């Protein structure tokens, strides 16, 4: 999973499918310590989310929000989108169609 420091304030990560998903999230947490940045997660390669994956995303969201930053999920496949809808997390996370749109949204804020 490549983690890109897109700017001084934004990290872009392209997540892998399970079983690397949790490791990817931990790598993102390590890459934003000690200075928390805005985070864009590209889920295009993810085909399945389990409860552990969702818990990791919520933990990352909490860490990012505690520092008054933003977490955006983008390129969410249909089957993964269903997991967000079924759990009600579609109202918790911020979504974007793709990475460029997410980056533009963050720049406009």
What is each CA distance from 30 to 17, 44, 58, in whole angstroms? 19, 22, 16
* pLDDT at 99 exceeding the cut of 90: yes
Q: How many domains does the chain have?
A: 1
Q: What mean pLDDT do residues 72-83 have?
A: 95
| Pair 66, 49: CB distance under 8 Å | no
Task: State how far Cα 82 lies from the chain centre.
Answer: 16
In tens, the pLDDT along 21-30 reads 878 888 888 7
User: Which pLDDT does position 44 carry in this prediction?
Assistant: 95
CATH of the domain at 102: 3.30.750.24
Show the domain range for 55: 3-108
* pLDDT at 1 exceeding the cut of 70: no
Q: Rounded to whole angstroms, how far apart are CA atoms 44 and 104?
A: 18
Q: What is the model's pTM? A: 0.90
């Amino acid at each position: 999973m490549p983690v890109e420091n897109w700017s001084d304030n934004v990290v872009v990560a392209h997540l892998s499918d399970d079983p690397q998903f949790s490791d990817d999230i931990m790598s993102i947490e390590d890459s934003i310590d000690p200075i928390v940045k805005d985070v864009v997660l590209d889920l295009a390669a993810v085909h399945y989310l389990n409860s552990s994956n969702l818990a990791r995303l919520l933990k990352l969201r909490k860490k990012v929000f505690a520092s008054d930053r933003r977490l955006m999920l983008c390129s969410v496949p249909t089957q993964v989108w269903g997991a967000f809808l079924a759990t009600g997390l579609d109202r918790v996370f911020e979504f974007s169609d793709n990475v460029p749109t997410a980056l533009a949204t963050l720049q406009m804020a």
